[in-house]
Amino acid sequence: MKKQRTIIISGVILLGLIVSVYQYIIVMMPELVGAADTKPAAGHSWSEMESDEDSIQVSGRTITNLAAPVASTDATNKEYVDNLLRLPEGGEPGDTLIMGVTGPYWDSILTWAGSSKTARDCDLVGGTVFDTGSGGTICRLSSASVPAGWSQAANWQKYSPTTWGGDYCGRHLNTGPGLFSNVSAVVYSARNIWPDDYEYINYVGYCSQTNPIYYIVYDSSLVRVNQFGLKTTYINPTTNRVEVGVY
């Protein structure tokens, strides 16, 4: 009986030692038992996990695929921080870094020939600096007109729609570039008026029989009010212009 009691007591002591050693390994050497690789079960997320500690220890490992933060208390990723701290390209010694509506930029003089305006001047009129390539930088404005004190940079502009107007025969349409580019817009109108109010014209087939250089206008009753001679051309009108490049 005494022998059996000794065996039981020894077994309890041994079990206690085993449990103590296992707990020590979990706390001090988790990699030996795979604790460092523990992750949520399928269908669960880290947000459902609880910790008795004030911090989460990842044992020097990397957290991947972390989304950009939304709330002020969200964790963030390296890409977000790098983009936040990245300075804009360009800039010369002595240039000032300005925080504009669309982000930081260097306040340098526009490089278009003859320009005395700066990037900040462009920002103040609501534009953005645009690099035309070999022509230098200009200010790109979402506007039909050129602001006071500025000049249009060559033919840099954009139109929408790109065709409009024309005479009664559908000829001599006005045209403008549909992309912001150095392309002129052309508007046609009449000149060399030849009064001819008394003549009634049958519109059907008339346009195809008339010299296409003429600019034809009728009133609502199809009376030929005027037949005009060669058209007059205007360049870069404000009508339908939605962007313009200035310096």
pLDDT digits (tens, 9 = 90+) for 132-158: 999 999 999 999 999 999 999 999 999
Amino acid found at 195: P
The residue-averaged pLDDT of 219-245 equals 75
Instruction: Please state, as a whole number, how many other Cβ atoms lie within 10 Å of the Cβ of residue 243.
Output: 20
Neighbours of 215 (CB within 10 A): 24
Residues 6+ positions from 203 with CB-CB distance below 8 Å: 218, 222
CB 174 within 8 A of CB 164: yes
Q: Is 186 helix (H, G, I), strand (E, B) or coil?
A: strand
Residue 104 pairs with which residues in a beta bridge?
99
Nearest 5°: CA angle at 56, between 50 and 62?
A: 125
Please report which confidence band the pLDDT of residue 104 belongs to, taking 50, 70 and 90 as the band edges: confident
Q: Which residues lie across from 129 on neighbouring strands?
A: 139
Mean pLDDT of 166-188: 91
pTM of the model: 0.58
| Mean pLDDT along residues 173-191 | 91
Helix (H) or strand (E) holding 181: strand 181-182
Task: State the pLDDT at residue 163.
Answer: 96
As a whole number of angstroms, the distance between CA 243 and CA 236 comes to: 11
CA atoms within 13 A on the CB side of 142: 3
Give the tokens for residue 131: 């690099």
Point out the least confidently predicted range of 12-21, 75-84, 98-107: 12-21
Query: What one-character DSSP code corresponds to residue 29?
Result: -
Whether the CB-CB separation of 215 and 169 falls below 8 Å is answered with: no
Residues β-bridged to residue 217: 226
